[in-house]
């Protein structure tokens, strides 16, 4: 199983730059993400609608496909445990001031680490830079 953050989950549905590489990677194994990634993905679809990159019809199609995939267990949603939340707190306590890390990204990193992943796949440079502080390797397959 491989761990995707939201930047990669969205590319499973939208042809953002690098989508081909992300989909090829997804075809190699089952994909998992923290449960909050489900909400982040829907929010990203809505952002794409709001910015005018898709129309209402396409937005509805994206949302339906995503919901169908979730219902069919096409994506594995990992719980955010108390241990993961504690890991976030511990990481922030020792995180250098030079590392910018959003809370949602910290949750992805902690969830991946708590569930035994050694790598997290993302296109988010800040998340990738923070990954070692959670004991995991950040990987970006997008050239």
pLDDT in tens, 68-109: 999 999 899 999 999 999 999 999 999 999 999 999 999 999
Sequential DSSP letters for 9-75: HHHTTS--TTHHHHHHHHTTS-EEEETHHHHHHHHHHHHHHHTTSS-HHHHHHHHHHHHHHHHTT-S
pLDDT at position 74 is 87
pLDDT tens digits for range 72-82? 998 999 999 99
CB 35 within 8 A of CB 80: yes
User: pTM, whole model, 2 decimals?
Assistant: 0.95
pLDDT of the residue at 13: 97
pLDDT recorded at residue 12: 98
Residues in the chain, pLDDT under 70: none
DSSP 8-state symbol, 133: G
Domain 2-139 has CATH 3.60.15.10: no
Q: Where are the domains of the chain?
A: 2-139
């Amino acid at each position: 199983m491989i761990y995707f953050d939201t930047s990669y989950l969205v590319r499973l549905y939208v042809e953002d730059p690098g989508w081909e590489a992300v989909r090829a990677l997804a075809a190699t194994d089952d994909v998992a993400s923290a449960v909050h990634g489900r909400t982040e993905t829907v929010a990203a679809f809505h952002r794409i609608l709001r910015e005018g990159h898709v129309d209402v019809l396409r937005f509805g199609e994206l949302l339906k496909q995503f919901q169908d995939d979730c219902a069919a267990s096409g994506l594995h949603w990992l719980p955010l445990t108390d241990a993961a939340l504690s890991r976030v707190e511990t990481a922030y306590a020792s995180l250098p001031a030079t590392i910018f890390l959003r809370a949602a990204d910290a949750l992805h990193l902690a969830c991946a680490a708590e569930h035994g992943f050694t790598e997290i796949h993302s296109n988010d440079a800040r998340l990738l830079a923070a990954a070692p502080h959670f004991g995991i390797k950040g990987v970006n397959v997008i050239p």
